[in-house]
């Protein structure tokens, strides 16, 4: 199963961890794995290539079955809007995929409130 974990602070996504393999089909034929992978690479490319954030600020780990990326904050209003549009679109589509393929994709959300309190 693929697990997508959204780490949020005050409702804003701070980082995303994508781990596992869906097991929907054999390697090379797995549309669920391909879909989540394509969404993940697209959002990372959007953050780095379109918005212009530095790779090292975004990418923590980029390996098959284990990807972690950060969603950096920006004081620039245009960058902030672009980051929000990209990450909101990513979350929307990951959740839609998880709803459609519940046996193969799980979404976990961990929320913190400013000051360090956690809630799920």
Give 60-102 as a DSSP string.
EEEETTEEEEE----SSHHHHHHHHHHHHHHHHHHHHHHHHTT
Enumerate the domain spans of the chain.
Answer: 2-112
> Per-residue pLDDT for 117 more than 80?
no
Cβ proximity of 108 and 4 under 8 Å = yes
pLDDT tens for residues 32-50? 999 999 999 999 999 999 9
The CATH class of 2-112 is: alpha beta
Q: Compute the distance between CA of residue 118 and CA of residue 17 in angstroms, rounded to an integer.
A: 17
Out of 5-14, 23-32, 57-66, 93-102, the most confident range is 93-102
Take residue 87 and report the two structure tokens written for it.
Answer: 């990450």
Coil, strand or helix at 58: helix
* pLDDT for the residue 113: 82
* pLDDT for the residue 119: 47
> Per-residue pLDDT for 55 more than 70?
yes
């Amino acid at each position: 199963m693929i697990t997508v974990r959204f780490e949020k602070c005050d409702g804003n996504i701070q980082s995303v961890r994508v781990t596992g393999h869906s097991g929907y089909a054999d390697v090379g034929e797995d549309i669920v794995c391909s879909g989540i992978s394509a969404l993940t690479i697209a959002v990372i490319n959007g953050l780095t290539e379109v918005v212009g954030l530095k790779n090292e600020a975004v990418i923590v780990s980029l390996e098959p079955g284990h990807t972690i990326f950060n969603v950096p904050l920006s004081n620039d209003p245009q960058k902030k809007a672009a980051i929000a549009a990209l990450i909101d679109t990513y979350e929307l589509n990951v959740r839609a995929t998880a709803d459609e393929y519940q046996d193969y994709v799980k979404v976990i959300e961990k929320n913190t409130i400013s000051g360090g309190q956690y809630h799920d």
